[in-house]
Amino acid sequence: MAFRRVVVTGLGAITPLGSTVPAYWEGLRTGVSGAAPITRFDASKFKTRFACEVKNYNPDDYFDRKEGRKMDLFTQFAVIASDEAIQDAGLLEGVNKDRVGVIWGSGIGGLKTFQDESFNFAKGDGTPRYNPFFIPKMIADSSSGNISIKNGFRGPNFVTTSACASSSDAIVAAYNYIRLGMADAVVTGGSEAAITEAGVGGFNALKAMSERNDDALTASRPYDKERDGFVLGEGAGALVLEAFEHAQSRGAKIYAEIIGGGLSSDAYHITAPDPTGEGVVLVMQNALRDAGIKPEDVDYINTHGTSTPLGDGAEIKAIQKVFGEHAYNLNISSTKSMTGHLLGGAGGIEAVASILAIQHGVIPPTINHSTDDPELDARLNFTFNAAQTREVNVAMSNTFGFGGHNTSVVFRKFQE
């Protein structure tokens, strides 16, 4: 059986840098930090009091009041980003909706809904009074369900949950469903909205987040010697993936081609990365093999790069092992330095960033760098502090999650 080619025909994003794809790209290109003091709740007693929130967000700008109340914030973000991608792709007219699916990713799902309902119960007299929308709002698959219901897409529909690899796993699953002929197009990506008391408090307890409250703008600093943990972000990134012949038949514009996806497990620890980077080596090798390309064909890697002391080093060592001398010809950057870490939504917005790097021939930077880490090879091009122009024919996007989940996705400049 011959695999079908799969192309990207639509993009959508709502992020801490901007609430559309053009605004997001402008923030990435110019190196804007999305970090600021938390406004979603009173964070004054928390160890971390800042995050990368979606700015000036008002659900009434996107949903009528009754509709919005039925969705957790992570689902609202999913619907907004997917709406932009679907409209961008022109997917609502002239397609067989039985053959259009939605495969979405979220690592946590409706955390705020769960937290609020639990708080309300704890404050009461013990009588169980729960909102009838509690469960439908909280469950992670409400995201893909709402996208399909709104648009009438009756193809494959489910959510992947693998911590911070969730939306990359969704993209790989969508790619496989299309190339195997099980769907003609799939709306995919991921969303997260974990900037809540429970989210911030929980990650503080793990000592995973930066506590640089006096300098929030530069707190996310991947590969810098002074990095002290990730900065929590929120939002969503969406892609429309489509069989090439299907896109061609309806005259759709094509951003790029997705040519491979790799998965692996560290099999090491529930939260800590394997310091040897063995699982990360394996996932990138698997992705290259699936794509049918050599390491020398890759121009840019959008790294996982969360700004944690152990994780950043393990990924860089793995890149050097997989790419050898070619590692010095690569551009490497972590856009989390600008957006913060969207957890299960990270792979969605970072896939969008990788595709736009191919389209525009611009590598978004790793901002906030001031001090070289002597443990990392300074000869590597980390794209520190300013975007760089270069032709990008092939880009790889890496995402790794708690539990040892590793995923790499490979995109290539489209050529008929």
Closest residue by Cα to residue 99 from 181, 158, 180: 181
DSSP 357: H
Cα distance between residue 93 and residue 79, in whole Å: 18
DSSP code string of 188-215: EEEEE---SHHHHHHHHHTT-B---GGG
Closest residue by Cα to residue 367 from 342, 328, 331, 333: 333
Q: Per residue in 169-184, is it b (16+ CB within 10 Å) or e — as a string?
A: bbbbbbbbbbbeeebb
Cα distance between residue 258 and residue 354, in whole Å: 11
Cα distance between residue 248 and residue 257, in whole Å: 13
Q: CB–CB of 157/337 below 8 Å?
A: no
Cα distance between residue 188 and residue 310, in whole Å: 30
Q: Is 52 a catalytic residue?
A: no
- Rg for the chain, CA atoms, rounded: 20
Q: CB–CB of 223/366 below 8 Å?
A: yes
Q: Which amino acid is at 4?
A: R
Cα distance between residue 225 and residue 223, in whole Å: 6
Identify the three-state secondary structure at position 231. coil
Whose tokens are 């709306």? That residue is 187
Angle (deg, nearest 10), helices 111-123 and 197-205: 100
Q: Which residue in the list 164, 173, 247, 349 is annotated as catalytic? A: 164
Cα distance between residue 305 and residue 311, in whole Å: 7
Q: Other C-beta atoms within 10 Å of 23: how many?
A: 15
Q: Which residues are annotated as catalytic?
A: 164
